[in-house]
Amino acid sequence: MSEKLQQRMYGLVPYNISPIQQGIQFGHAVVEYGLAFGDTTLYQDWAKLDKTFIILNGGTTNPKKNSEFYGTLNQARDVLRDMKVQYESFYEPDLGDQLTAVVFLVDERVYDKKKYPPYDDIMHDPIDERNYYFDLFGDDANKILQMREFLSQFRLA
State pLDDT tens for residues 3-39.
899 999 999 999 999 999 999 999 999 999 999 999 9
Say if CB 108 and CB 49 are below 8 A apart: no
Q: Other C-beta atoms within 10 Å of 100: how many?
A: 25
pLDDT for 1 equals 47
In sequence order, the β-bridge partners of residue 87 are: 104
The domains located in the chain, with CATH, are 7-151 (3.40.1490.10)
Q: What pTM was estimated for this model as a whole? A: 0.92
- pLDDT by residue for the chain (157 residues), tens only, comes to 458 999 999 999 999 999 999 999 999 999 999 999 999 999 999 999 999 999 999 999 987 776 677 899 999 999 999 999 999 999 999 998 999 999 999 999 999 999 999 987 556 566 688 888 999 999 999 999 999 999 999 999 9
Q: Angle CA(20)–CA(74)–CA(77) in degrees, nearest 5?
A: 95
Q: Find out whether 58 and 13 touch, Cβ atoms under 8 Å.
A: yes
Nearest to 9 by CA among 57, 47, 52: 52
